[in-house]
Amino acid sequence: MYFIIALVALVFVVLTVVVVTRLQDVLKNVKKPASADEVPSGNSWNGAMFIVIIIAAAVGITWSYMNAREHFLPIASSVHGRRTDDLFWFSMGILTIPFAFVNFLIFFFAWKYQFKKGNKASFYPDNHKLELIWTIIPAIVMAMLVFTGWKAWSDITSEAPADAEVIEITGKQFNWIVRYGGVNDNKLGNYNYKLIDAQNEVGIDLSDENSFDDFLNPTEMHIPVGRPVLLKIRARDVLHSVFIPHMRVKMDAVPGMPTKFWFVPDKTTADMRAELNDPNFKYEIACTEVCGQGHFSMKINLVVEDEASYKKWCAEQATFLQTYPEYLAKVPDNLKAKAMKGLPADTAVPADSAKTASTGGGIGTSAALR
Amino acid sequence: MSATEGLDTAVHHEEHAHHHEPQSFWQKYVFCEDHKVIAKQYLITGIVWAVIGISMSVIFRIQLGMPDSNLSWLKPVLGQWISETGKLDPNFYLALVTMHGTIMVFFVLTAGLSGTFSNFLIPLQIGARDMASGFMNMLSYWFFFLASVIMFASLFLQAGPAAGGWVIYPPLSALPQAHPGSGMGMTLWLISMAFFIVSQLLGGINYITTVINLRTRGMSFDRLPLTIWSFLITAVLGLISFPVLLSSVLLLIFDRHFGTSFYLSEIYINGEALPNVGGSPILFQHLFWFLGHPEVYIVLLPGLGITSEVIATNARKPIFGYRAMIASMLGIAFLAFIVWAHHMFVTGMNPFLGSVFMFLTLIIAVPSAVKGFNYITTLWKGNIVFTPAMLFAIGMVSLFVSGGLTGIILGNSALDIQLHDTYFVVAHFHLVMGAASAFGLFAGVYHWFPKMFGKMMNNTLGQIHFWFSFIGIYLIFIPMHYVGIAGFPRRYYQFTSYDFTHKFMDMNMFITVAAILSFLAQFIFLYNFFRNIFKGETAPKNPWRSNTLEWTTPIVPGHGNWEGELPAVYRWSYDYSKPGAKEDFIPQNIPYSQTLESNFPHENELIATEKEIEAQNFNDQFNAAH
């Protein structure tokens, strides 16, 4: 809206006019010596400005707030998100009172007690009762805010429920890679950063049988609605931070130190599309820890769907071994039979595939770079 | 005026028996050991850095507010960083953000504010000839200058200056292959910072020693102006916290060049798994913020001290709750050391630690609130003179309160989950620490310009400068809170990649316009400042009719500050508008025996101690044998 810009331009134009008129006064008054009884130069218009500003600010802040609120994040789509939202607006509500009150007093007193000829300020160096009052009242308000915040924080960061859907998300320059435990065991296999190569982007350790049915997705994360989801968060190269704005989820991804965050999404993508009346709505995951050139576009979409569609989607995904059967060479011999299960029958393991895989991945291929 | 007459009767003029060799230009203006010259060196360097630092913010604001604009007109300055199509390079965008933060926090608001006014005011307000060690003081400035030169040089590197954010979190800052800004630019950043810390430590030790040892006779701690209290506390904060940054910087240098793994573990980058294991990037964040948080108060406390002095002088009232002001500064300083991890709620740190740090963080609001209310009560029933310094001091209180309140939101770890690293944080700290401290700096410059240069700045231009800056700051940062509530992450080159940031285009443009106009308004100040150094009216001896000792010196104080003996101090510095007094101010060097008409009963008792105070003279270096 160019309207706002026009408004600010107007404010500055008015100020400029004030400047020009004042400058003429300056030129006139240059030589006048100041004495103690005289009204100091510019005192009255500066005093008046405080009243002008306080009115303009009250109008401006109220109007801009009402105008901007439609663009604030829509209603949270997770259970804890609504709780922190309520807490946020409650705190903001409380804090608006001292914000308005204190600023009003500063500006009003500045105007009211501006220099007047023959006036003398009152000698009022201290008052212990007043000091006590404005120590104790903020302390009580703080205690209340701390307590509500602390309750919410400890619930949010508590251990994830046992039935949580565990999904791994790994950050790298400059995209996210999602890994699922797979439909057979639904358990994430081990990983080791030394096993990372161009195909095995998150270092899946294929000597762990839990990893045989793991599948990766570098473009989309799907999660079921109405059930706890536990994100296991990792980073491959530098710090990243998983930010799902609509879920009120944020947690850093730290190389060498896995982190986690669990939440209960309770609105599917379809629900949100209906609610916002926007058929193109998508949940998004962003990065909020500066990670280099592509930091601003490290995007992956999030799809929240009902349990059945989620299960169906998972079943349709090709496991890592199905996509790259040559990695069978890395499976220990005693587990090969198990690992072969989901694979097409004709997938014979070439004897030298292990070598191909490792040499192919060792060099920075385009997949590793981007 | 009676103030100067008081001085004449109170201080015996003596021809002081020292003859000084005429100083060469180099001794007088360059490698000078006089605290007043060093203060001016700090101030001018700070102003130059501020122009560079704020210009950078204008460039990236244009990128954020008008993403489609053609920046080819910047090619003469930025060269290769502007593409053929007139677009800003994304890597250079990050470099700009990083350098803006580094320059403003360290070079402008730490060195430019605390370096200028601690150096200038400590000896003048406590009645000392100079700093405890003039030589260390000189070294302190020249280490800062060296740090400045290195940082400035890094701007011209082919690969660009450091670009990992001013917090330089590893591994990004530790791995040259991760980012062009992590190469030579980061090396120079680290070297520059190491020198800067040395400079701060040399300065800090000097400030503390001077305040403790060189107070003139009668200047007990409960008579110190609040400015001196704030500089003392700031110096202590810096002395304790800067060495921690130095060690974290050194460990980072080891990681970068000598293959250690303090901050690195399990990294695969550019097709290569690095051998480093066992380090922790979180360790760096703990070390960094152990400085980083006190740094906020290192920046802010001098501003608060200056504001206290300016508000009391120009409201013609004693500062309300002098002791409460000191106590709250001590409280803030203590708490500043135990809240650092509130910058790290979502780094994967143990959630229990998060709870502890949330609790400690929110306690800081209490002493801050006390300060705010004390300022307001000082204004109440005053007789306020709106000098530019006073306007900036009032503006500073408003910004401090407005910005501080959103800190209560961010200090709440549950709310920080959503708001961390969004524009809400940017808006918060720019108000409370950036703008508030800058306003403290302006208040100080306008107030003490006559003492620094013996000239007056133009009053009306100062007032106009204030209104543009004050309105401009709020126009920038109030809308920025909205952008933050909408979840816009900071340090984004542009907001086109996401649907959830595909709004507020107009708001971002609005912020940019406001930022440019506020930036332009600063040229009013630059004109007023530099012109009046040379062409200003000659200042009267005590232009603001103030109580503190610096106004008892000659209009342009020479080496040693006072001619003749050092003044003695008999009272606190806030005897403004005392009932019964002839004038509305009584300087600190006027004994109670001369103001019988306005003394309180307990002050009449102090008359007996005056002889004793006058007899002392142990701190005057000019009287000691050398």
What is the Cα–Cα distance from B565 to B396, expressed in whole angstroms?
37
User: What are the beta bridge partners of residue A304?
Assistant: A223
Q: Which residue of B has its CA nearest to A76?
A: B418
- Residue showing tokens 């820890």: A289
Chain B positions touching A15 (Cβ under 8 A) are 464, 467-468, 471
Chain B positions touching A5 (Cβ under 8 A) are 506, 509-510, 513
CA neighbor of B499 nearest in space, from A178, A174, A279: A279
Q: Residue B113, class by beta-carbon neighbours within 10 Å (0-12 exposed, 13-18 middle, 19+ buried)?
A: buried
To the nearest whole Å, the CA of B486 is away from the closest chain A CA by 4
Q: Taking CB atoms and an 8 Å limit, are A73 and B487 in contact across chains?
A: yes
Q: Taking CB atoms and an 8 Å limit, are B172 and A292 in contact across chains?
A: yes
CA neighbor of B163 nearest in space, from B255, B105, B93, B83: B93
Q: Taking CB atoms and an 8 Å limit, are A5 and B268 in contact across chains?
A: no
Q: Taking CB atoms and an 8 Å limit, are B489 and A25 in contact across chains?
A: no
What are the two backbone dihedrals, phi and then psi, of residue B597, each rounded to the nearest 5 degrees? -70, -25
Number of other residues whose CB lies within 10 A of the CB of residue B412: 27
Q: Which residue of B has its CA nearest to A286?
A: B498
Q: Which residue of B has its CA nearest to A301?
A: B498
Residues 6+ positions from B222 with CB-CB distance below 8 Å = B323, B572
What is the Cα–Cα distance from B345 to A115, expressed in whole angstroms?
48
Disruptive mutation site among A104, A295, A301 for chain B (greatest number of B CBs within 10 Å): A295
Tell me which amino acid residue A30 is. V
CA neighbor of A292 nearest in space, from B234, B493, B407, B403: B493
User: Of B317, B319, B355, which has the smallest distance from its Cβ to A150's Cβ?
Assistant: B355
Number of other residues whose CB lies within 10 A of the CB of residue A21: 10
What is the Cα–Cα distance from B487 to B495, expressed in whole angstroms?
11
Q: Which residue of A has its CA nearest to B394?
A: A106
Alpha carbon separation from A218 to A199, A202, A229, A310, B122 (Å, rounded): 12, 11, 18, 17, 60
Q: Is the peptide bond before A174 cis (omega within 30 degrees of 0)?
A: yes
Helix (H) / strand (E) containing A305 = strand A300-305
User: Of A19, A47, A299, which has the smallest distance from its Cβ to B464's Cβ?
Assistant: A19
What is the Cα–Cα distance from A276 to A247, expressed in whole angstroms?
16
Q: Taking CB atoms and an 8 Å limit, are A292 and B94 in contact across chains?
A: yes
Long-range contacts made by residues A266-271, C-beta under 8 angstroms, separation at least 24?
A: A266/A77, A266/A78, A266/A79, A266/A225, A266/A226, A267/A77, A267/A225, A267/A304, A268/A225, A268/A304, A268/A305, A268/A306, A269/A302, A269/A303, A269/A304, A269/A305, A270/A305, A271/A225
What is the Cα–Cα distance from B500 to B488, expressed in whole angstroms?
8
- Residue showing tokens 């011999």: A333
- Residue showing tokens 């809170």: B481
Helix (H) / strand (E) containing A240 = strand A240-244
Cβ atoms of B114 and B38 closer than 8 Å:
no
Report chain A (370 residues): mean pLDDT per 10 consecutive residues.
61 67 57 58 90 94 91 89 94 94 95 89 89 91 89 93 94 94 90 92 92 91 95 95 95 95 95 92 94 93 95 93 90 87 60 42 37
Q: CA torsion B443→B445→B449→B453, rounded to 10°?
A: 180
pTM comes to 0.90
Q: Taking CB atoms and an 8 Å limit, are B370 and A134 in contact across chains?
A: yes
The percent of residues above 70 in pLDDT, for chain B, comes to 95
User: Of B397, B487, B514, which has the smallest distance from its Cβ to A8's Cβ?
Assistant: B514
What is the Cα–Cα distance from A101 to A103, expressed in whole angstroms?
6
The percent of residues above 90 in pLDDT, for chain B, comes to 82
Residue B626: per-residue pLDDT = 43
B12-34 residue pLDDT tens: 444 444 445 566 777 777 788 89
Q: Taking CB atoms and an 8 Å limit, are B267 and A255 in contact across chains?
A: yes
What is the Cα–Cα distance from A325 to A200, expressed in whole angstroms?
12
Cβ atoms of B110 and B298 closer than 8 Å:
yes
Chain B positions touching A131 (Cβ under 8 A) are 321, 324, 370, 374
For residue B262, give both structure tokens: 């303090």
To the nearest whole Å, the CA of A144 is away from the closest chain B CA by 11
Q: Supply the DSSP symbol for A77.
A: S
Q: Taking CB atoms and an 8 Å limit, are B266 and A193 in contact across chains?
A: yes
Q: Taking CB atoms and an 8 Å limit, are B498 and A286 in contact across chains?
A: yes
Residue A6: per-residue pLDDT = 64
DSSP per-residue string spanning B108-129: IIIIIIIIHHHHHHHHHHHT-S
For residue B226, give both structure tokens: 């609040």
User: Of A15, A121, A203, which has the smallest distance from its Cβ to B577's Cβ?
Assistant: A121
Residue A346: per-residue pLDDT = 56
Q: Taking CB atoms and an 8 Å limit, are A150 and B422 in contact across chains?
A: no
What is the Cα–Cα distance from B173 to B150, expressed in whole angstroms?
18
Residues 6+ positions from A309 with CB-CB distance below 8 Å = none
Tell me which amino acid residue A155 is. D
- Residue showing tokens 């587990």: A335
Cβ atoms of A236 and A316 closer than 8 Å:
no
Q: Which residue of B has its CA nearest to A7?
A: B510
Residue B348: per-residue pLDDT = 87
What is the Cα–Cα distance from A196 to A180, expressed in whole angstroms?
17
CA neighbor of A256 nearest in space, from B25, B255, B167, B522: B255
What is the Cα–Cα distance from B259 to B256, expressed in whole angstroms?
7
What three-state secondary structure class fits A250? strand
To the nearest whole Å, the CA of B619 is away from the closest chain A CA by 30
What is the Cα–Cα distance from B342 to B294, expressed in whole angstroms?
12
Q: Taking CB atoms and an 8 Å limit, are A40 and B397 in contact across chains?
A: no
B585-599 residue pLDDT tens: 999 999 999 999 999
Q: Taking CB atoms and an 8 Å limit, are B315 and A364 in contact across chains?
A: no
User: Of A105, A119, A296, which has the smallest distance from its Cβ to B376's Cβ?
Assistant: A105
Chain B positions touching A38 (Cβ under 8 A) are none
What is the Cα–Cα distance from B94 to B104, expressed in whole angstroms?
15
What is the Cα–Cα distance from B624 to B626, expressed in whole angstroms?
6
Q: Residue A67, class by beta-carbon neighbours within 10 Å (0-12 exposed, 13-18 middle, 19+ buried)?
A: middle
Question: Burial code of A305-320, b = ≥16 C-beta within 10 A, e = fewer?
Answer: beeebbeebbeebebb
Chain B positions touching A156 (Cβ under 8 A) are 414, 417
Three-state secondary structure string covering B539-599? CCCCCCCCCCHHHHCCCCCCCCCCCCCCCCCCCCCCCECCCCCCCCECCCCCCHHHCHHHC
Q: H helices within A40-198, ranges in order?
A: 43-68, 79-112, 128-156
Residue B583: per-residue pLDDT = 87
The mean pLDDT value for B79-105 works out to 93
Residue B25: per-residue pLDDT = 74
Q: Which residue of B has its CA nearest to A191?
A: B266
To the nearest whole Å, the CA of A160 is away from the closest chain B CA by 13
What is the Cα–Cα distance from A265 to B586, expressed in whole angstroms?
68
For residue A111, give both structure tokens: 């105007």
What is the Cα–Cα distance from B177 to B158, expressed in whole angstroms?
15
User: What are the beta bridge partners of residue B489?
Assistant: B422
Residues 6+ positions from A316 with CB-CB distance below 8 Å = none
CA neighbor of A282 nearest in space, from B417, B67, B501, B495: B501
To the nearest whole Å, the CA of A282 is away from the closest chain B CA by 8
Chain A positions touching B461 (Cβ under 8 A) are 23, 26
B152-175 residue pLDDT tens: 999 999 999 999 999 999 999 999
User: Of A1, A12, A53, which has the smallest distance from its Cβ to B517's Cβ?
Assistant: A12
To the nearest whole Å, the CA of A271 is away from the closest chain B CA by 17
Cβ atoms of A210 and A240 closer than 8 Å:
no
Sheet holding A240-244, edge to edge: A220-224, A300-305, A283-287, A240-244, A249-253
Chain B positions touching A369 (Cβ under 8 A) are 270-271
Q: Taking CB atoms and an 8 Å limit, are B348 and A259 in contact across chains?
A: yes
Q: Is the pLDDT of residue B256 over 70?
A: yes
For residue B610, give both structure tokens: 């005056």
Q: Supply the DSSP symbol for B427.
A: H
Disruptive mutation site among B2, B63, B409, B418 for chain A (greatest number of A CBs within 10 Å): B418
Enter the ipTM: 0.90
Q: Is the pLDDT of residue B177 over 80?
A: yes
Q: CA torsion A293→A296→A297→A299, rounded to 10°?
A: 130
Chain B positions touching A237 (Cβ under 8 A) are 171, 175, 178, 267-269
Residue B205: per-residue pLDDT = 95
User: What are the beta bridge partners of residue B82?
Assistant: B88
What is the Cα–Cα distance from A199 to A365, expressed in whole angstroms?
10
Chain A positions touching B316 (Cβ under 8 A) are 120-121
* Inter-chain CB pairs, A–B, below 8 Å: 390
For residue B22, give both structure tokens: 């005429």
**Count of residues for chain A?**
370
